[in-house]
C-alpha cells in the first residue's frame, strides 16, 4: 500500500512538473515556485494532520534537498526584524483586544526607535503603486509574473 501511494505521489509530481512546463512557467522564481508547490504537496501527503510549523520544516528540508535555499537576511535586516517583532509584541501585550488603528498609533514611537519609519513604508508603497499603474498602461496584456518583474525594475530605477 505504501509503495502504491509513493508511486502515485511520484506520478503526481511528474505530471505536475510536466503541466507546469507545458503552461510555460517563466519569470524569476517560476521553477522555485513549482518546486515549492511540489514539496508542499509531498509534505501534506506524508503528514496530513501536521501543523504549519511542522509542514514548514518539511518543505524547507525538501527544498534544501532540491538545492533551493531561502533568503538570508543581512545582520541589519535581521536586527530590524527583531526590533519590529519585539515592538509589536509589547504593544499587543499592553493593549489586548485593541483595533488596528489603535495598535498602529501606539506602536509608532517604538517603530521609529527601532529604525522603522511608517512614513518611509507608505512612500515605498505609493511608489510601487505608481509604477504598477505605469506598467499596466504600457503593457495591458502582461500576466502577473511579468508585471511583478516590470514593477520591480521600475521601483529600482526610481
Query: Do 52 and 9 share a structural domain?
Result: yes
**Cα distance between residue 6 and residue 42, in whole Å:** 10
Query: Do 49 and 21 share a structural domain?
Result: yes
Grid cell at residue 101: 488603528
Which residues, 6 or more positions from 30, have their beta carbon under 8 angstroms from its beta carbon?
20, 145
What are the two backbone dihedrals, phi and then psi, of residue 99, each rounded to the nearest 5 degrees?
-80, 170
Query: Do 43 and 14 share a structural domain?
Result: yes
Domain that holds residue 95: 74-116
Query: Do 44 and 32 share a structural domain?
Result: yes
The per-residue pLDDT of the chain, averaged, comes to 78
Cα–Cα distance list, 46 to 2, 16, 129, 149 (Å): 11, 18, 41, 34
Q: Report pLDDT for 137.
A: 92
Domain boundary pick from 46, 65, 84: 65
Work out the pLDDT band at 109, boundaries 50, 70, 90.
confident
Domain count, the chain: 3
Query: Do 111 and 81 share a structural domain?
Result: yes
Query: Do 86 and 52 share a structural domain?
Result: no
Query: Do 109 and 130 share a structural domain?
Result: no
At 5-51, the pLDDT tens digits run: 444 445 455 545 544 444 444 455 677 888 888 889 998 898 888 88
Q: Report pLDDT for 7.
A: 46
Domain boundary pick from 32, 47, 65: 65
Residue 47 has, within 13 A of its CA and on its CB side, a CA count of 13
Mean pLDDT value of segment 49-77: 85
Query: Do 45 and 17 share a structural domain?
Result: yes
Query: Do 101 and 47 share a structural domain?
Result: no
> How far from chain centre, in Å, is Cα 44?
19
* Lowest-pLDDT choice from 25-29, 87-91, 122-126, 151-155: 25-29
Query: Do 57 and 6 share a structural domain?
Result: yes
Mean pLDDT highest for which of 102-106, 120-124, 129-133? 129-133
Amino acid at each position: 500500500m505504501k509503495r502504491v501511494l509513493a508511486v502515485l505521489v511520484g506520478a503526481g509530481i511528474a505530471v505536475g512538473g510536466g503541466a507546469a512546463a507545458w503552461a510555460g512557467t517563466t519569470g524569476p522564481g517560476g521553477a522555485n515556485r513549482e518546486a515549492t508547490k511540489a514539496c508542499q504537496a509531498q509534505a501534506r501527503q506524508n503528514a496530513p494532520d501536521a501543523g504549519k510549523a511542522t509542514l514548514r520544516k518539511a518543505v524547507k528540508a525538501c527544498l534544501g534537498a532540491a538545492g533551493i535555499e531561502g533568503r538570508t537576511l543581512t545582520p541589519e535586516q535581521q536586527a530590524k526584524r527583531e526590533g519590529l517583532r519585539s515592538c509589536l509584541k509589547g504593544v499587543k501585550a499592553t493593549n489586548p483586544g485593541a483595533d488596528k488603528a489603535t495598535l498602529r498609533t501606539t506602536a509608532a514611537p517604538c517603530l521609529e526607535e527601532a529604525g522603522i519609519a511608517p512614513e518611509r513604508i507608505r512612500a515605498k508603497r505609493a511608489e510601487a503603486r505608481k509604477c504598477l499603474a505605469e506598467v499596466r498602461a504600457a503593457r495591458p496584456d502582461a500576466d502577473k509574473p511579468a508585471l511583478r518583474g516590470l514593477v520591480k525594475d521600475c521601483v529600482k530605477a526610481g
